[in-house]
Amino acid sequence: MPKATLMIRFKRPTDSSWQRKPAAIGSTGRVRSGYAVFKDRETGQAREEHVGERYTFDIRIEDGATRYEAAGSNGVEALARLTRVLARLKAQRASEALGLVVMDPEKQQKKRVRLRDSFDDYIQDAEKRGASEAREQAILVRNDFLRAVSVVYVDEVTRDRILDFDQHLRSRRQSDRTVFNKRQRLQSMLRWAGVDPGIFPPKPRFEKKLPTIYTPEQLAGLFAIATPHQRTVCSLMLKLGLRDQEVQFAEFADVIWHESVFRVQSKPHFHFRVKDCEERDIPIPTDFLEELKAWRQQHPDQNLIVPTSTGKPNCRLLPMVKRMAKKAGCNPCWGGGYFRLPPTSSMAGFGLPDQRNLNVLPLRT
């Protein structure tokens, strides 16, 4: 038979841990604050004893399993809470006697899965799989969604909540492509959480824009204002066609000097993987190979080609290139994209081979 008992949880100055004992009830039916009931193990006689000033009240509930509910530190309020619990248990017994199925709201509340916990599990799984890009995107989407939409539990996610998230992103003037990408990641995280995909609205649409085409004169202006470090960054992007992270983690050890080849490969020590897990070799133009040799001689103590001032991978290369383009009057596309030479233009003056796949300066990952 389910029963409930008011307990006092206390810790004396001489005790190393907290204890629970039945709370002492006076002859008037009131709780004696700070007093607990102790039983003598040998005689079985009960005695009341003051336990000090560090205590709170708990309600011990035994209904097949033993659990405790916090009842605060005020004796009157704790006793009132005990009365409510006893009434609930009595009603539960009466309902069960009639063959009714009784659902305890507090138990069901504890069984509900918090959305943040599920998102955190998704992020942890991506980290274990080595999917660093998926992990970073998931962290951004988790923070944006929980901040924009008042959802605590997984079962509270609805179609309207997802549409509210899209609207929130647009209100922050994020591009249609960004809204699409974040929605796509959100739906992957919600599937992980067990949300029915049938409630997902159609994904937002976006226009696939053509890259901004720059003339050789405009690129010459960009390189004219560049520092040696910035010039090396831009050359790695433009002359080798490297992506942003490939430049961040590019090392002198990746250069096969006698073959004039740059090898794009994963870097386990930086937790970096090549996109699509596909390594590749890129021929290095002769003039840029000489620049790399000179750059290495100027920086003999570093392995990364373009690190930060502290020798770590530089994750702010794209903003740097965009600032350079703006300063050079190139009107950069700040929402992402590429700067590219016209396919028919001459590559002379940049030391570039006549290969269209190498004439792109990426401004996004």
Three-state DSSP string of 125-179: HHHHHCCHHHHHHHHHHHHHHHHHCCCCEHHHCCHHHHHHHHHHHHHCCCCHHHH
Residue 336: per-residue pLDDT: 43
Please identify which residue in the block is written with the tokens 């053509």: 210
- Please name every residue paired with 264 in a beta bridge, in sequence order, or none if there are none: 280
Burial of 169 (0-12, 13-18, 19+ CB in 10 A): buried
Q: In terms of C-beta density within 10 A (0-12 exposed, 13-18 middle, 19 or more buried), how is residue 40 classed?
A: exposed
Q: Is the full-model pTM beyond 0.95? A: no
Domains of the chain, by residue range, sit at 3-111, 115-199, 212-362
- Count of residues making up the chain: 365
Angle formed at CA 339 by CA 295 and CA 140, multiple of 5 degrees:
90
d(Cα 35, Cα 52) in Å, to the nearest integer? Answer: 8
- Fold (CATH) for 212-362: hpI Integrase; Chain A (1.10.443)
What is the structure's pLDDT at 109? 53
Q: What is the mean pLDDT of each run of 10 residues along the chain (365 residues)?
A: 86 80 89 88 86 88 81 88 88 76 56 87 89 88 91 89 93 91 94 90 84 76 90 90 91 94 91 80 93 93 92 89 84 47 39 38 44
Report the DSSP beta bridge partners of residue 59. 6, 69
Q: Cα(292)–Cα(282) distance, rounded to whole angstroms?
A: 14
